[in-house]
Amino acid sequence: MKSFQYAAPKSLKEAVALLDESWGKTEVLAGGTDLVTCLKQGLAQPQRVVSLRNIKELRGLSTKSGALHIGATTTLAELAENRDVKKLFPALVTAATGVGSPQIMNVGTVAGDLCQRPRCWFYRNGFGLLAKDGDTSLAREGDNRYHAIFGTDGPALFVSASSLGPPLIALGAQVTVAGAGGKTRTLPAAEFFRTPKNDQERETALLANEIVTEISVPLKGLKNATYEVRQRHGLDWPYVTASVAFSVKGGQLADGQVVLGHVAAVPWLAAAAGQTLQGAPGEALAARCGDAAAQGASPLSGNAYKVQMVKTAVKRAVVAASA
């Protein structure tokens, strides 16, 4: 691990002032469950690491002004154990507890989950974010069993590692970030994630000198659920996840949103599935929604199995949310 300066500011203003305008020179440390690994693997070699541990204003949950407000450094365990979250947002609880490890849940943070780097083994072994060896795409030509099945016409074939991204997008959440000069901006969770076009870009809309401060989820009374397909529970990432949210009007489902995880470089909005999610609830509607969610899939050589998993995950998420 390359040596670096360690800063532990006590205010958000101090923390932002310590960040550089270019990626790579400084890194933000929240829970550290991903950054520490990147430091050990040489994927991150910052000159300075800025810890958010002592900034109390970034932590906590509250329900006000028609929304659930989640502080950026709120831990996954705090999110999953919150009474309001359990009652109103089971999709978030499933996503948070799916991490499995009590150690990670009690240290890992909500914003850290959104900002974690891809788990692609080519990237983690030093072949860059786009997994290239010269002009050869290792992800396209090599072992790609855990890679993308949507958006595969571009060079980014890794999958977004965020567990909370899909349910937050389905629920219409917004992400607030703070930058230099006290400036803040708020953007929809769906716009927070981006597909990089080169190795120098990041997977989010966050700038190098910005810090996520809060995530807000509107209280719309939506039925919601997340379903994950895993090989095992704990200390591993799912093959496929599906998060759904919808309203119920006169016994009929409406305003459906379906977002898939671990199938593309960003949480994947399955628009056709959301449009299908209308009418009387039941397994037949859930199955049609699952089939619609798989539309447009373009698997790589080793991951076509994910298509059926998408159908199943969406169907079961719809059934769970309806119940």
pLDDT beyond 90 at 204: yes
The stretch 60-68 carries a mean pLDDT of: 95
The stretch 106-129 carries a mean pLDDT of: 96
Q: How far apart are CA 245 and CA 227, in angstroms?
A: 12
Q: How far apart are CA 316 and CA 138, in angstroms?
A: 33
Whether 62 and 69 have beta carbons less than 8 Å apart is answered as: yes
The stretch 233-237 carries a mean pLDDT of: 71
Taking all residues of the chain, what is their mean pLDDT, rounded to a whole number?
95
Whether 49 and 4 have beta carbons less than 8 Å apart is answered as: yes
In percent, how much of the chain has pLDDT > 90? Answer: 94
The stretch 165-193 carries a mean pLDDT of: 96
DSSP string, 102-118: HHHHTT-BHHHHHHPPP
Task: Place 121 in a pLDDT band, splitting at 50, 70 and 90.
Answer: very high
Task: Place 275 in a pLDDT band, splitting at 50, 70 and 90.
Answer: very high
pLDDT of residue 236: 76
pLDDT beyond 80 at 83: yes
Domains, in order of start, for the chain: 5-322 (3.30.465.10)
pLDDT of residue 215: 98
pLDDT beyond 70 at 235: no
